[in-house]
Amino acid sequence: MNQSKSHAEAGAASVKPTLTEKTQGMIAGLDQATKNYTGALLFGRETGEAMMRSAASVNKATEALRCELQAYSQQAANDTIAATKAIMGSKSVFDAFELQSEFAKTAFENYAKELTKLGELFTTAAKEGFLPFRSPHQ
């Protein structure tokens, strides 16, 4: 019986360090899992906040684009009405042709300027829309 007791004690003595090591490993694993879970929650919150900032930025840019397009459309309509009145009131075909040519030139120049302005607004909107998603390390 003494011999079985000593074998049991020897077995317990050999298992104890292994059990302690495995327990510490399990505790370290749980700590790491907790940190990872907290990091995932933080990432999810940060991503959600970035999405909200991006949506607000895009909404603001869309409103600016709408206002710009509305102002251009109104101005183009007013210019067309004014040119039509001037052409209809012209004294000769030559004068009408000159007025029409000048109107076409001005309308095209204004259109080109507006396209440039809209391109800049779209570029700015895209940059500002993606800005909240950029890594702070970039």
- The per-residue pLDDT for range 74-124, each reduced to its tens digit, is 999 999 999 999 999 999 999 999 999 999 999 999 999 999 999 998 898
Does residue 45 lie within any of the structural domains?
yes
Does residue 63 lie within any of the structural domains?
yes
- Give pLDDT, residue 137: 43
Does residue 85 lie within any of the structural domains?
yes
**17 vs 130: CA distance, rounded Å:** 54
The 8-class DSSP code of residue 49 comes to H
Does residue 76 lie within any of the structural domains?
yes
**96 vs 65: CA distance, rounded Å:** 35
- The per-residue pLDDT for range 111-138, each reduced to its tens digit, is 999 999 999 988 988 888 888 877 654 4
**73 vs 62: CA distance, rounded Å:** 16
33-45 b/e with 16+ CB inside 10 Å = b? eeeeeeeeeeeee
Q: What total number of domains does the chain contain?
A: 1
Confidence of residue 49 (pLDDT cuts 50, 70, 90): confident
Does residue 104 lie within any of the structural domains?
yes
DSSP secondary structure string, 77-136? HHHHHHHHHHHHT-SSHHHHHHHHHHHHHHHHHHHHHHHHHHHHHHHHHHHHHHGGGS-T
Range of the domain at 52: 2-133
Task: Please give the C-alpha separations between residue 64 and each of 51, 118, 133, in angstroms, as whole numbers.
Answer: 20, 10, 22
Does residue 138 lie within any of the structural domains?
no
Does residue 13 lie within any of the structural domains?
yes
